[in-house]
Amino acid sequence: MNESAPVLAIDGPGGAGKGTISCLMAEHLGWHLLDSGALYRLTAFAANKHAVALDDEARLAELAKALDVSFPIEQGQPLTVLEGENVGQAIRNEQVGEWASRVAAIPEVRTALLQRQRDFCQPPGLVADGRDMGTVVFPKAPLKVFLTASAEERARRRHLQLQEAGVDANLSSLLKEIQARDARDTQRSVAPLKPADDAVLLDTTRLSIPEVVEQLTDWLAQRGLAPGA
């Protein structure tokens, strides 16, 4: 990890807006982007592709270490490139999300991916999107933000996103899935979902995307890290 490169760590539950905000902030700042949640999806996706069982912890850890992945931003949109192929759409369905949550609870896999995540920290800076960026991966980040929103609002956003993609989904079922995932992620023994002690909490339930970007930019400016600061 390059200690001279600043990190904006953005954590929070699924549906709070981390992905969208992280991409916009990385583009705005001209920094690198890390979608840490995608690493677990990618590991799960690769496991399924290579017929590795989700309870085979040793093989999953080996698979995680070998992932060749990057997150370039093109025309304002983040790409998820695995071994030269953009698999962003392929890993974003609900099934892969469920697999990823199971994979993320395995200590050997988290250990395997820890250094890989830290290697993304290069000048001029890194926007790190995840669930334990501020608590585990980048504990010295100069700004740690914990984005949240009500489960109902996160389910509504996911439902709208699926509708726009032409996918039929039940709002009630999505809400139950989000609540179950929240419980699993906050109660797991390894790196549970929680804000870092020095994180700034931001509830996005009633905020627009521009309002969130403006708030984060202001907080960075206060630390002398935003453009023009």
Q: Return binding residues for ATP.
A: 12-20
Q: 7-11 and 126-130: which strand pairing?
A: parallel
Angle of helix 36-49 versus helix 107-118 axis, rounded to 10? 120
Kindly state the greatest CA–CA separation across the chain.
Answer: 50
Residue 95, exposed/middle/buried by CB under 10 A (0-12, 13-18, 19+)? exposed
Token pair recorded at residue 201 = 């909490």
Residues contributing to the annotated binding site:
12-20
Residue 83, exposed/middle/buried by CB under 10 A (0-12, 13-18, 19+)? exposed
